[in-house]
Amino acid sequence: MSRAKIMIVEDEFIIAMHMKVLLKKMGYEVTAMLTTGEEALEQVIKGQNCLDLPDIILIDISLDGKMDGIQTALEIKKNTSIPIIFSTAYTDDEILTRAKLAEPSGYLIKPVDSRQMTITIDMALHKAKMELELKKSEERFRQMAEASPFPIYIMDKNSRLIYANKKFPEVFGYKPEELPDRETWLEKFYPDPEYREEVRKTWLKDIQKAKKNQSEQREFDIRCKDGTVRSILFRLVNMDQDSCMVICEDITYRKQSREEFLKARKLEAVGILAGGIAHDFNNLLSVIMGNINLAQMQAEPGTSFARWLDEAEKAAIRAKNLTQKFTIFSSGGKPVKKVTSLKNIIENAMALAISGSNVICKYDISPDTWKVEIDSEQMNQVINNITLNAVYAMPKGGTIHVSSENIEFSEQNSGNWLSIPDGQYVKISICDQGTGISRKNLHAIFDPYFTTKKKDSRKGMGFGLPISHSIIKKHGGYIHVDSELGKGTIVYIYLPASKAEIPSPVPRQTGPSLTNKRILVMDDEEMIRDIVSQMVEYLGYSIVSSAEGRQAVDIYKQAIESGTPFDAVILDLTIPGGLGGKETLKKLLDLDPDVRAIVSSGYSSNEVIANFKQEGFKGRITKPYQIKELENVLKEVLSAE
């Protein structure tokens, strides 16, 4: 890691030399020692031109010359964001009040000692790093908002527009400055007084709900600047106590489309959102889970510390599962399917879903039920979602009946009113004794924004059936729901049968010791490289890391030439702006046809992850992963013939 570069602006030579000595002892690089504000400004301008600016500037407040330290700092701040630390022997209120105008990152009170300087500089560097990350995050949000196909705007606590993306004037015709306050945009958008008052009341209520993260989608008819009326869906998203974001969707023409098309578009929108955040979110979870696992290795079993870590791990796993649920909506992803029997999946998923409730399950799963080719984790999620809905519909308890049967559809089968293609299917029926769903709501049950549950009844509810619908569809299956108020609901699932046999489990082979093996890890995120390196080292391997594919190829090549080749590589699938895992593997195979590569990604449903062997990888691991998962995949790949 490069040393932080520091500029000293101090007119007392002895003090400046003392600071320089201290800074060098602490490992910092002193780029310049200047005595006046004018020299400092000139140096900063030169640095801007050649892209060589210091990381921090230490400025004496009481400089000789035309500009004192505060004036110098104010001038520097006009064109740069370099952190400023003031040094001074004076702490009277007048000086400090003036100094605040420059928004310094810290103060050093003379005489300066090493401890004071270390703490102040470290805090300033940390603050600058956090501000840079925040700036990058804000820029990413702005880029996403500007690229969004939907109008997005941000309002302050008084419902005044403080930001609107370029789609906003395209749809509504108004620029943000034409709508300076709440009353103005209410009058322009809703010219009818009675309707306007209705919107006002609903809007104010929704703002309060958004602050509690209980926002809901609203549909209003908007009069645009050109006089046209558009049906707009609004969703408020709380940002902080003083602002909220509003995402708008023009559904004027969509309302004239078929219901199935509308549902598909909404699912796609959720998928785009999920796919956009999954990678970053899973990277963060990888670091969290990795550190938890490493801490668990050091914790004394049975202690409070160990229990706290276990609870933190459970929460991280739930967060991982939540991410996976929403990435189900993303388009293009394929389930990782294997031939299996449904009996264990159904019974295990339902047992978990009814635990803690006064609901029981009765099973009629025939041992002759055909095999199916499915993603076991995703199908477990389907059964779990449906069962949870049934439990919710029976607050006083009851029985869920589950049955399976083999069914074949053909041209001669007149009972195929669902228009399911000809073929053999396994039919699963899940029947509850709950409150049921009204006919007017039945058509909307697969809509991700529809639910019969109260908004505050249980957190995280409402997406179960849409997710299940998406999973079944990706398996080439069909799902149908029949219900009657006061009597209950039956969910029918049809999955294509498979003629293949369930593969026998491969016995774990005990081979030679896998310690001292060399592993190369490639990931563009430094925090991921750090935690994976620690986990790999803990497992007894030596580790080298790389941030990008070309660098990884060079490292791999050098290792071969030096006679110390790598035994396995872990490649991140997606490297923004660089060579990703798939492309990197192609180059590694040119160097070493026997390379043992493991593909890693936060997108569990990516085609490369699903078909990793066809792409040339020997193993796969999806983020976030636990140290045990990493250990297993490394052992599997390194032990393979």
pLDDT class of 134 with cuts at 50, 70, 90: confident
CA distance 343 to 361: 13
Distance CA 60, CA 85 (A): 9
Do the bridges between strand 488-498 and strand 478-484 make them parallel or antiparallel, or are there none, so unpaired?
Answer: antiparallel
Beta strands of 252-397 (E only): which ranges?
338-340, 359-364, 371-374
SS3 85: strand
What are the strands, taking DSSP E only, across 25-158?
Answer: 29-34, 56-60, 84-88, 106-109, 152-156
- Architecture of the CATH domain 148-256: 2-Layer Sandwich (3.30)
What pLDDT band is residue 448 in, cutting at 50, 70 and 90? Answer: low
Sequence-separated (6 or more) residues with CB below 8 Å from residue 200: 186
How far is it, in rounded angstroms, from Cα 612 to Cα 594? 15
**Does position 476 have pLDDT exceeding 60, yes or no?**
yes
Tell me if 5-138 shares its fold with 277-333+509-641.
Answer: yes
How far is Cα 369 from Cα 405, in angstroms, rounded to an integer?
6
For residue 462, give every residue at least 6 positions away whose Cβ sits within 8 Å of its Cβ, in sequence order, or none.
448, 449, 450, 451, 453
Quick check: 509 pLDDT over 70? no
* CA-based R_g, the chain, Å: 31
Task: For the domain made up of 5-138, give the CATH fold.
Answer: Rossmann fold (3.40.50)
Other beta carbons within 10 angstroms of residue 253's beta carbon come to 9
CA-based torsion, 312, 314, 319, 324: positive or negative: positive
87: left (phi over 0), alpha (psi -120 to 50) or beta: beta
CA–CA dist 586, 581 (Å, integer): 9
For residue 337, which amino acid is it? Answer: K
Q: 595: part of which helix (H) or strand (E)?
A: none
pLDDT-derived band at 469 (thresholds 50, 70, 90) equals confident
What percent of the chain stands above pLDDT 70?
Answer: 86
* Best CA proximity match to 59, nearest among 108, 23, 100: 108
Q: Does a cis peptide bond (omega within 30 degrees of 0) precede residue 151? A: no
Q: Which of the two residues, 641 and 27, has the higher pLDDT score?
A: 27
Please give the helix or strand (H or E) that residue 568 lies within, else none. Answer: strand 568-572
**pLDDT for the residue 96:** 81
**How does residue 386 score in pLDDT terms, banded at 50, 70 and 90?**
very high
Looking at residue 256, what is its pLDDT? 44
CATH topology of domain 342-498: Heat Shock Protein 90 (3.30.565)
Q: What is residue 283's three-state secondary structure?
A: helix
pTM value > 0.85: no
Q: How far apart are CA 363 and CA 402, in angstroms?
A: 5
Q: For domain 277-333+509-641, is the CATH number 3.40.50.2300?
A: yes
The residue type found at 532 is V
Which class for 301: exposed (0-12), middle (13-18), buried (19 or more C-beta within 10 A)?
Answer: exposed
From the centroid of its chain, how far is CA 307?
27
Position 640, amino acid: A
What's the rounded mean pLDDT across residues 444-456?
64
Question: Do the beta carbons of residue 379 and residue 347 sit within 8 Å?
Answer: no
Per-residue pLDDT, averaged over 420-432, amounts to 91
For the chain, the domains span 5-138, 148-256, 277-333+509-641, 342-498
Q: Identify the weakest region by mean pLDDT among 36-45, 206-215, 216-225, 599-608.
A: 599-608
| pLDDT score of 161 more than 70 | yes
Distance between alpha carbon 158 and the CA centroid of its chain, in Å?
30
Question: In 3D, which of 75, 9, 62, 77 has the Cα closest to residue 39?
Answer: 9
Per-residue model confidence as pLDDT tens digits over 220-272: 888 888 877 788 898 888 877 778 888 998 887 665 455 556 555 666 666 66
Which pLDDT band holds residue 275 (cuts at 50, 70, 90)?
low
**How far is it, in rounded angstroms, from Cα 220 to Cα 195?**
10
